[in-house]
Amino acid sequence: MSVKHSLLALIYEKPRHGYELKTGFESLVEGLWPLNAGQVYTTLDRLERDSFVESPGHDKKDRKLYTITQAGKEELWSWLNEPVGRSLFKEEFYIKFLCASHVSYDNKKTMIRNQKETILKDILHLTQLRKQMSLSGNDTMKLLIEGALLHLEADMKWLERIEEEL
């Protein structure tokens, strides 16, 4: 689960309290993934339960601090080293298209057109974001965006291929 491990990575960097982890995470993802405070504290409870983090006490403002344990570090390395597979049906549109074919849905062309429109919107949004990241010098985010754009480009080509066949 990426939130859990992202929080571990932030705590690895330095001891932090809950609110600092929320803002740290949001800063890491350039504000693109707002995190619910409740989710942060629930995750911290689980990390503490699993002995991946521990608390050395509270800061001057009485906020509970967390530090990473040896087990937490090992968990983080293990997660970083684990490759990520790609499931064929994780893409919801694939399932939709499968179902549309199954029920002989006669509006597939509209489905494709709408999907292309959504992809274009994503491409334009990400292209602008890439521009911002480039200007602010955030090379890591730029690389992630480039990856996402390559996927979108492939999706677009795939949709064009289906369109030709319909």
Partner 1 sequence: MINVSGLTKEYKTGKEVVPVLKGVDLSIEEGEFVCIIGPSGSGKTTLLHLLGGLDTANSGSIYLKNTDLTSKTEKERTILRRKEIGLVFQNYQLLPTLTVYENIVFPMHADGKNVSATDVENLLKAVDLAGYENRFPYELSGGQQQRVAIARSLIHKPSLLLADEPTGNLDRKRSGDILDLLAKFHYEQKQTIVMVTHDMFAAGYADRIILFKDGVIEAEVKREDDDYAKFLARFMA
Distance CA 21, CA 11 (A): 8
Spatial contact of 29 and 39, defined as CB atoms under 8 Å apart: no
Task: Dig out the tokens for 103 from the structure.
Answer: 């029920």
User: Binding string, 112-131, against partner 1, x = CB under 8 A?
Assistant: -x--xxx-xx-xx-xxx-xx
Q: What is the DSSP string of 127-160?
A: HHHHHHHHHHT-HHHHHHHHHHHHHHHHHHHHHH
Interface with partner 1 includes 91 (CB under 8 A)?
no
Q: Confirm or reject binding of residue 146 to partner 1 (CB under 8 A).
A: yes
By beta-carbon proximity to partner 1, the closer residue of 58 and 121 is 121
Q: Which of 149, 151, 158, 162 touches partner 1 (CB under 8 A)?
A: 149
**Under the criterion CB under 8 A, does residue 45 sit at the interface with partner 1?**
no
Distance between CA atoms of residues 71 and 50, nearest Å:
9
Interface residues with partner 1 (CB under 8 A) are: 113, 116-118, 120-121, 123-124, 126-128, 130-131, 134-135, 146, 149-150, 153
